[in-house]
């Protein structure tokens, strides 16, 4: 798993524009990371798991370009609606990632509004069934990063 499905890749531009226009799309935000080779900012829409004041992003499709960039940079900007927040990113150990997938992810999904729970269940069934079936294997294949604010949020340009 090194690339998102074609339908997801093709929809990223539209999703990014909608999020950039502050259209609420559930847990989705824009994550901007400095490219590990080019040094240029790279922006990708991702879902942020937020529970009890903590936040994580999961490389749903495996160790893809944005997860490699985030690992190398260790920091990023997230755009939530009309504000931007600088965050540090720490990749979870395998044991921490397994515990998150097994224990916290089901609790998080239960907190989502009905519509987003429905979409999350479809996503899990179609591309990430192992998140439910085998959390240990899922955590092995998917990088998971905890995000922590390093600066106060500012208004997006």
Whether residue 133 is contained in a domain is answered as: no
Whether residue 75 is contained in a domain is answered as: yes
> Into how many domains does the chain fold?
1
Whether residue 122 is contained in a domain is answered as: no
Whether residue 108 is contained in a domain is answered as: no
Question: How much is the average pLDDT of 151-157?
Answer: 65
C-alpha pair distances (Å), 51 with each of 114, 134, 146: 17, 22, 11
Pairing verdict, β 28-34 and 75-80: antiparallel
| Per-residue pLDDT band at 16 (split at 50, 70, 90) | low
Whether residue 71 is contained in a domain is answered as: yes
Q: What is the pLDDT of residue 138?
A: 87
Buried b or exposed e, range 30-64, using 16+ CB within 10 angstroms: bbbbbeeeeeeebbbbbbbbeeeeebbbbbbbeeb
Q: Is 108 left (phi over 0), alpha (psi -120 to 50) or beta?
A: alpha
Spatial distance between the Cα atoms of 56 and 44, rounded to a whole number of angstroms: 15
pLDDT, tens digit, 9 for 90 and up, residues 110-127: 887 787 777 777 776 666
Determine the structural domain holding residue 69 and report its residue range.
6-94+142-155
Give the dihedral sign, CA 86/116/157/31: positive
Whether residue 12 is contained in a domain is answered as: yes
Largest interatomic CA distance in the chain: 42
User: Taking the complete model, does pTM exceed 0.85, yes or no?
Assistant: no
Residue 53 has pLDDT above 80, yes or no: yes
44 near 136, Cβ under 8 Å?
Answer: no
Q: What is the domain-level CATH number for residue 23?
A: 2.30.110.10
Spatial distance between the Cα atoms of 114 and 110, rounded to a whole number of angstroms: 9
Q: What is the pLDDT of residue 76?
A: 97
Whether residue 126 is contained in a domain is answered as: no
Is 79 exposed, middle or buried, given 0-12, 13-18 or 19+ CB atoms closer than 10 A?
A: buried
Q: What is the pLDDT of residue 34?
A: 97
Whether residue 46 is contained in a domain is answered as: yes
């Amino acid at each position: 798993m090194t690339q998102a499905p074609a339908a997801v890749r093709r929809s990223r531009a539209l999703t990014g524009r909608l999020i950039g226009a502050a259209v609420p799309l559930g847990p989705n935000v824009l994550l901007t990371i400095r490219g590990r080779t080019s040094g240029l900012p790279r922006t990708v829409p991702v879902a942020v798991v937020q529970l009890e004041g903590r936040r994580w992003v999961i490389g749903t499709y495996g160790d893809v370009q944005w997860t490699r960039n985030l690992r190398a940079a260790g920091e990023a900007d997230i755009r939530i609606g009309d504000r931007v927040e600088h965050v540090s990113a720490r990749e979870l150990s395998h044991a921490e990632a397994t515990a998150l997938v097994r224990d916290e992810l089901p609790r998080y999904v239960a907190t989502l509004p009905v519509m987003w729970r429905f979409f999350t269940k479809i996503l899990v069934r179609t591309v990430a069934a192992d998140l439910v079936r085998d959390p240990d294997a899922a955590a092995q294949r998917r990088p998971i990063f905890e995000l922590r604010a390093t600066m106060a949020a500012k208004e997006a340009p």
